[in-house]
Structures are given as structure tokens and as C-alpha cells.
Amino acid sequence: MSDGPTLQSDSVRAAPTEPQLWKALYEKTRRKSEPEKLLTLVHATEAALYHRWEEGAESPIPTEEVVAMDLAAQDLLAIKIHKLAWPDPCY
């Protein structure tokens, strides 16, 4: 356990043992509009996606879920650009 502060609140911390966590966080992210909370959820969702992709190295992730994860990652980038006014990395 860490004694220092963390960037993520306990309520949105990604746990690699919960494969469906990224989906729940992603749905919360899509519904949120308040910029500060939205950014926290985007980061938590990205962390959950990362952990889920890591788990795929040990046991295969179903193709449908991989496709959904990829689409969610693309949508998170769009949320950062359009809702949080981040610069578009494609330009």
C-alpha cells in the first residue's frame, strides 16, 4: 500500500482482476460532462483498458472484446479532443 497521494480516486482505480471494469468505466466516461471528473474517468478507463490488454498476454481475450476495447480507446481520444479541448495528435 502506498503512503503517498495517487492520481486516481479509490472509486475509479483500475483493478486488473476485473475484466469488465473497463466497460463500466467507459460507460461512466461517456455520460460525464464535467471536465475535471471527466478527465479522471478518462484516465481510469485508459488504465483499466491497459490492464485488460496486459491480461491478454496470459489468456486470450475474445475477439469481440478486443474490437470493443479498440473502439473505446478511439472514443476516449475523441473525448479528450472534443470535450476536454486537447490538441488533435493527427494534425
Length of the chain (residues): 91
* CB distance 86 to 80 below 8 Å: yes
Write out 16-31 in H/E/C secondary structure.
CCCCCHHHHHHHHHHH
Query: 30, exposed or middle or buried, with CB in 10 Å at 0-12, 13-18, 19+?
Result: middle
> Domain residues of the chain, as ranges?
14-82
Q: Are 49 and 22 in contact (CB under 8 A)?
A: yes
Say what the pLDDT of residue 42 is. Answer: 97
Nearest to 44 by CA among 72, 82, 11, 71: 11
The string of pLDDT tens digits covering residues 4-41 is: 444 444 444 444 446 689 999 999 999 999 999 999 99
Structure confidence at residue 81 (pLDDT):
95
| Whole-prediction pTM | 0.76
